[in-house]
Amino acid sequence: MTRDSIRQAVNIVALVATLIVNTLSNALPINGQTAAQISNRLPVLFVPANYVFSIWGLIYILLIGFIVYQALPAQRHNALLRRISPWFVLSCAANITWLLFFHYNQFVLSMVVMLVLLYALITIYRHVRAANAAASRAESVWVRGTFSVYLGWITVATIANAAYTLLDAGWGGFGIADTTWTVLLLLVAAALTAYILLTRRDLAYAGVILWALVGIVVKQSAIAPVAITAGLMVAVVLVAAVISLLRTRSAPTRAAA
């Protein structure tokens, strides 16, 4: 086997292992508790409604598509896939390790591993976005789209994981109320998403953040400052998305002129 063939095989094994552990985490479940049960144990205001977590289904469908795409003989010598493969394997290892730490209530360690996962996905995202803009339709969906959606969700998950870890540890928030911290986090999340939209024009990433923000509105509807802020941030992201679309449509016109 060539090095590229080994790389393709290792990527397949990494994702299969990730899918197996994720399935067992709910089917068993690991340590007798699901991630949703653990998440709902503490009143973390940044956590969205349970239905929002169904996005993992989409993420894994996209990742399976990515694995099939990267395993094709025509992609064996794809330079972009060579660059991102080590980071993809690291992301799978971090995903598995996070599940184990989280299910065994090792929240500080889960936070460390979540940051590793976030860093791996950011690195993949940077490589993908720096690659040739004239990507094929398949690469646009299964590489660009996949990691935009995955990174978008892990951005949300990292913030939620940090809030959960701090709350579990009894952190007092420097005397600032939980609602105020959550409002600040929502502002940061929306600002980051608007930046991604206006600089990268990444609607897939923004769509995930919108999905999470709406879920926060639903779950935290009884807490007015949080629900109202999340609703306003939905509007901010939508405005940024419209501006991004208008810029995208006007670009060919300027080029033609």
Rounded Cα distance, 70 and 77, in Å: 10
CA separation (Å) from 248 to 97, 128, 191, 214, 244? 39, 19, 20, 26, 6
Q: What is the pLDDT of residues 79-134, one digit of tens each?
A: 999 999 999 999 999 999 999 999 999 999 999 999 999 999 999 999 999 986 66
Pair 31, 152 in one domain: yes
End-to-end CA distance of the chain: 51
Token pair of 112 as six digits: 């460390």
pLDDT at 214: 97
Q: Which among 113, 111, 107 has a CA at the least distance from the CA of 92?
A: 113
Rounded Cα distance, 60 and 66, in Å: 9
Pair 129, 244 in one domain: no
CA separation (Å) from 48 to 54, 154, 203, 239? 11, 13, 20, 22
Pair 137, 190 in one domain: no
Rounded Cα distance, 206 and 210, in Å: 6
Pair 153, 199 in one domain: no
pLDDT at 257: 42
Q: Which domain holds residue 133?
A: 1-171
Rounded Cα distance, 185 and 252, in Å: 36
Return the number of other C-beta atoms located less than 10 Å from residue 171's C-beta.
11
Pair 184, 79 in one domain: no
Q: What is the pLDDT of residues 61-80, one digit of tens each?
A: 999 999 999 999 999 999 99
Tell me the pTM. Answer: 0.94
Is 214 a member of any domain? yes
pLDDT at 134: 66
Pair 165, 184 in one domain: no
pLDDT at 233: 97
Pair 166, 183 in one domain: no
Pair 60, 163 in one domain: yes
pLDDT at 174: 86
Pair 190, 118 in one domain: no
| The total number of structural domains that make up the chain | 2
Pair 217, 97 in one domain: no
DSSP calls for 239-254: HHHHHHHHHHHHHHHH
Low-confidence ranges of the chain (pLDDT < 50): 253-257
pLDDT at 36: 87
Pair 144, 245 in one domain: no
Domain boundary among 145, 171, 197: 171
1's enclosing H/E stretch is: none
